[in-house]
Structure 1
Amino acid sequence: MANHGTDNKAMVWESNDQLTMGSRMSPGKTEDNRPPVDPLPTVESVGHMQRPKYPTTYVETLENHLKSNIASGMFAMGDAFKNAGLLLAPVLTMFLGVLCVFNQHILVNSANKMRERRKLNYYPNFDDTVELCFDAGPPFFERHAKNGRLAVNFFVTIAQLGFCCVYIVFVTSTTQQILHYFGYAMEIHLNMVITEMFIIVTILIRNLKYVAPLSLFATVTMVIGIALTLYISTEDIPPIADRRAVASLSQLPLFFGTVVYAYEGISLVLPLQTEMKNPEKFSTPLGVLNVGNLIVTLLLLSIGFIGYLKYGEAVEGSLTLNLPYDYMLSQCVKIAIAVGMLLTYPIMFYVPNAVVWTAVVKRWGPFERPILYEYLVRILLSLVTFVMAEVIPNLSVFISLVGAVSSTALALVFPPLCDLAVRWSDQDFGPFAWRKIVDYITLVVAAFGFCTGTYYSMVEIVSSLRS
């Protein structure tokens, strides 16, 4: 999970909550039974995608990919390394990274295969792809095609709301330190209320066109913050022997949740490919997907290794919280990161709001004053994230929980299921059925991470609430 904002001017979104039974046609026929375009601008999780009027170049798409992955998850990597050990953490991070990227390739290939097989005149998105793949699979998958779409939208919504909760806790914790440095004492709950008031102002922006500049500014501040954080953290580093090489087994589930959270940018993979001038260059060996994730992996390894090596067992859920208190440059970094996170919130919030608002209109609409009701839904949904942030103020544990639950489902469950469904009829699993073996291994890893990560995160949350 991560900042999932992209250059929205390059995309055109059309609203559609599901593929109708009548729209499913046999190969060789063209499908175009989509409902009328909804006037509300929607996002990738609830609509079909069309080729943009102004497609992006390779470099521009790479920039968008990096923007979507530079966020709070990176600053939590020091805590992740603490939960695995200085020797084991890099190995497991690369393993999970390869697994996540491999599954992103599976999703892209499955979407392209479904578009070609069904001769679609639109580009299927994540939820479209899951439903189409399940519908093309054996009877068990076919029966659950609709449920697959609903499950994707559910987990995307939960993941994005989880990101929003993390941002509130992150901003509040950081501003508490900043205020204390300048001699102001404020009760943390009051600080959180003030933060929520600023957030409500940003989420009232309805059009993605006007949210995009906030995303750009947030990305710039985040990049500067990461660079300065690494610079400050490399001063007076202790010897490697002072840190644990391997952590206890009970801590590994927390590591798993944090790393998957940091890598979970899968919900924007298909939109990024769609907006490219040459989509075929997206998933080639030196394409955007591989190059972008290589850069992300190097950043995650650098921040995690340096963070844990520098601060040891005292490393916080965000590395910025460990920066020297009496160092003015540290405060500048914290201000930059806090502003970046605050402005990233409306980008994260746009997806769940679109899903929930579409469901509200479908259930109770149409409304005489739709804009008023939409604002009401936005405020209520934002207050939900505020309450969750109040209840679970432990940043590192919250990140692990979101990663274990939602990010695992999106990044490591749905792609292999799509792959199995599409390849099952032809038994096209390659020599020695290696594709089937890899899919099963991925599902086992996902099940282990989901169960253990959720359990240990909840144990830590209960413990922190009691204390």
Structure 2
Amino acid sequence: MKTPTETKENTNKAATVFSISQDVSNVTEGYGIFQSREQILPVDKAQYELENGKQPEATPEYQVTHPTSYADTLLHILRGNIGSGLLAMGDAFKNGGIVFATIVTVLLGIICVHAQHLLLNCSEEMNRQTKRAKSANFADTVYLVFTHGPPRLRPIASTMKILVNGFLCITQLGFCCVYIVFIANNLKLICDQYGINIDLSIHMIFVVIPVLLSCMVRNLKYLTPFSTVANIMMAVGVSAVVYEAAQNLPPVNTREYMASWQQLPLYFGTAIYAFEGIGLVLPLKNEMRRPEQFQRPLGVLNVGMVVVVSIVVTVGFLGYLKWGEDVQGSLTLNLEPGRVLGNVVQSLIALAILCTYPLQFYVPIDITWPYLRTKFATKSPVLKELVYRGILVLLTFILAESIPELGLFISLVGAVSSTALALMFPPIIDMVMKSQQAGGLRPYVVLKDCAIILLGLLVFVTGTYESLASIVRAFRV
């Protein structure tokens, strides 16, 4: 039995986001604090009965082992949205224009927060209807909404769940690809300053070796300390980048107020990538000591995202204003070469991203491996899991080698998968759920949700096309 003092000390440890793996023996306290933290939960009894056509029984109230406070959860929100996407916002502002990007980034932040509220509302309603003791994760919420939706939509509930999990895997593996390019670019910049001129693809080979070794760690709790170290290094690095960008700024009128229409899809892809933290909200709310504080007008989500949007806009604005058309896919690449500060910052952020890779990599493994294990790994499951992990790491390496343009890669990942998770699924399940409630769908709900979905489709189609076209043009140069 822990004393109240020990419980309080454990509560105040805000190192990582809580997570429960598929293996009960592998319960741990988190798998990452940068970008898209989707909690992977075991299928509980209520869900099992529901999927087999039975009426779920009431389950005992879920007890959080180490509940988080308002401040703890706010810290997780901030860290969950600060990563390589933030450092790419200078490039996003270049593709949007300093006035256009400033205004639209704020609007995108509001829309993304609203979509997160839609997801939370749907999760709460499904918990009430199914009498779940603990909130469902993103994919299970989508499944439950369609299961309880109009009869003609119920047969596609499993398909929708697979789609969400698929986009989560694509998103996380996309982040891993970006991380390899990000680390290699910073490593090359440092080496070039000391006369070690090696091709970027060779640097990627050097990067993938420690990445591959770290991803062979199957128990996530052994990676948790790396998350804490990554937090500190990222905070110091980003602060130094912002300080450097704020020095000797030129007048605002020296920058484009609005970029060309051809560039705007690249802006939207990168901006959505930076805001893609929707998988974080459900597990964070579920682990709070007082979950009702999460969605209030001045609750954790709104306050945290106001701070996040402010940081994103500030970094993007200063980055583009400082370096203009020369701004890179990561602001660390714009730091003046040869200076100790630049080398230290680039090293810190590169190491932080390196420590984050296996934490991000955990998500697609935990989604896909349990199914593959039952099909192909009845014998020697540990060996086969290690082989599977190695194959996925090498897949991210091959993709990173194929698309070495960091800014274009970030825009592509944001356009392909982040838009679906952040802008399309929440309004879809909101309309499906409300169609079954008393009074049915109200016109303003349909208009609002359809507008968000259309925005997501527009960013998805135009962003993907323009990102791929720009990558092709980059290879032709």
Q: Is TM (by shorter chain) over 0.5?
A: yes
Flag the 1:19–1:96 CA change in 2: closer, same or farther, 3 A.
Answer: farther
Q: Against the structure 1 CA distance between its residues 456 and 427, is the aligned structure 2 distance closer, same or farther, given a 3 Å change threshold? A: farther
In structure 1, the gaps of 5 or more residues are: 33-48
Aligned CA distance change for structure 1 residues 50 and 173 (closer, same or farther; 3 Å): farther
Q: Following TM superposition, where does structure 1 have runs of at least 4 consecutive aligned residues deviating by more than 3 angstroms?
A: 7-14, 16-26, 427-430
Contact kept? 2:95, 2:259, Cα under 8 Å: yes
Q: Deviations for 1:197-253, whole angstroms, at most 9, x for unmatched residues?
A: 010121112122122211111111111111100111111111111100011111111
The letter for the 2-side match of 1:119 is K
Other-structure match for 1:454: 464
Count of aligned positions: 444
Change (3 A) 1:19 1:134: farther
Q: Which residue of 1 aligns with 2:421?
A: 410
Any residues of structure 2 matched to 1:45-444 within 5 Å, and which?
A: 51-367=63-379, 369-426=380-437, 428=439, 433-444=443-454
Higher mean displacement: 170-179 or 118-127:
118-127
Residue type of the partner of 2:319?
G
- Separation in 2 of the partners of 1:357 and 1:63? 31
The structural deviation recorded for 1:94 is 0.8
1:324 touches 1:330 (CA, 8 Å); kept in 2? Answer: yes
Q: What is aligned with 1:15?
A: 42
Matching residue's letter, 1:136: H
**Structure 1 residue 63: deviation in Å?**
1.3
Distance, in Å, in 1 between the alignment partners of 2:191 and 2:208 is 17
User: d(CA) in 2 for partners of 1:92 and 1:311?
Assistant: 21
Query: Which secondary structure does the structure 2 equivalent of 1:247 belong to?
Result: coil
Contact 1:230–1:306 (8 Å) recurs in 2 = yes
Q: Quick check: 2:319–2:327 contact (8 Å CA) kept in 1? A: yes
Conserved? CA contact 2:29–2:221, under 8 Å = no
Is the contact made by 2:332 and 2:345 (CA closer than 8 Å) also made in structure 1? yes
- Cα distance in 2 for partners of 1:421, 1:345 equals 36
Q: 1:50–1:123: 8 Å Cα contact kept in structure 2?
A: no
Shift of 1:147: 0.6
Structure 2: how far apart are the matches of 1:50 and 1:247?
51
| Separation in structure 2 between the aligned mates of residue 410 and residue 19 of structure 1, nearest angstrom | 25
Question: Contact 1:5/1:347 (CA < 8 Å) preserved in 2?
Answer: no
- Counterpart of 1:30 in structure 2 is 57
Q: Counterpart of 2:403 in structure 1: which amino acid?
A: I
Corresponding position of 1:463: 473
Q: 1:171 to 1:112 in 2, by over 3 A?
A: same
Corresponding letter in the other structure for 2:472? V
**Structure 2 unaligned residues grouped into runs of 5+:** 1-14, 20-27, 31-38
Residue 132 of structure 2 aligns to a residue whose secondary structure is coil
Post-superposition offset of 1:187: 2.6
Deviations 1:12-41 (A, max 9, x none): 964349856554555xx5267xxxxxxxxx
Summarize deviations over 1:326-362 as a string: whole Å, max 9, x none. 3211111101110001001011100011122123113
CA shift at 1:325, angstroms?
0.9
Q: Distance in 2 between matches of 1:50 and 1:460?
A: 49
Q: Please list the CA deviations of residues 350-394 of structure 1 after superposition, one character each: whole Å capped at 9, or x if unmatched.
A: 001112212311322322x21111111111100000000000001
1:251 is matched by which residue type in structure 2?
Q
Q: Which moved more, 1:353-362 or 1:383-392?
A: 353-362
Distance 2:383 2:18 in 1: 27
* Counterpart amino acid of residue 411 in structure 1: A
Any conservation in 2 of the 1:5–1:67 contact (CA below 8 Å)?
A: no
TM-score calculated relative to the size of structure 2 = 0.89
Q: CA deviation at 1:416?
A: 0.6
Aligned counterparts of 1:21 and 1:148: Cα–Cα separation in 2 = 16
User: Taking every aligned residue pair, what percent have the same amino acid on both sides?
Assistant: 41
Conserved 8 A contact 1:50-1:274: no
Pair 1:10–1:326, CA change in 2 (3 A): closer
What is the aligned-residue RMSD (CA, Å)?
2.0
Deviation at 1:434, TM superposition (A): 2.1
What is the TM-score when the length of structure 1 is the normalising length? 0.91
Kept in 1, the 8 Å contact 2:29–2:224? The answer is no
What CA distance in whole angstroms lies between the structure 2 residues aligned with 1:448 and 1:62?
32
Contact 1:132 1:145 in 2 (8 A): yes
Question: Cα distance 1:331–1:377, how it changes in 2: closer, same or farther (>3 A)?
Answer: same
In 2, the alpha carbon distance for the partners of 1:93 and 1:426 equals 34
Letter in 1 for 2:266: L
Letter in 2 for 1:233: A
Query: Aligned partners of 2:43 and 2:122: how far apart in 1?
Result: 20
CA distance in 1, matches of 2:113, 2:40: 25
SS at match of 2:97: coil
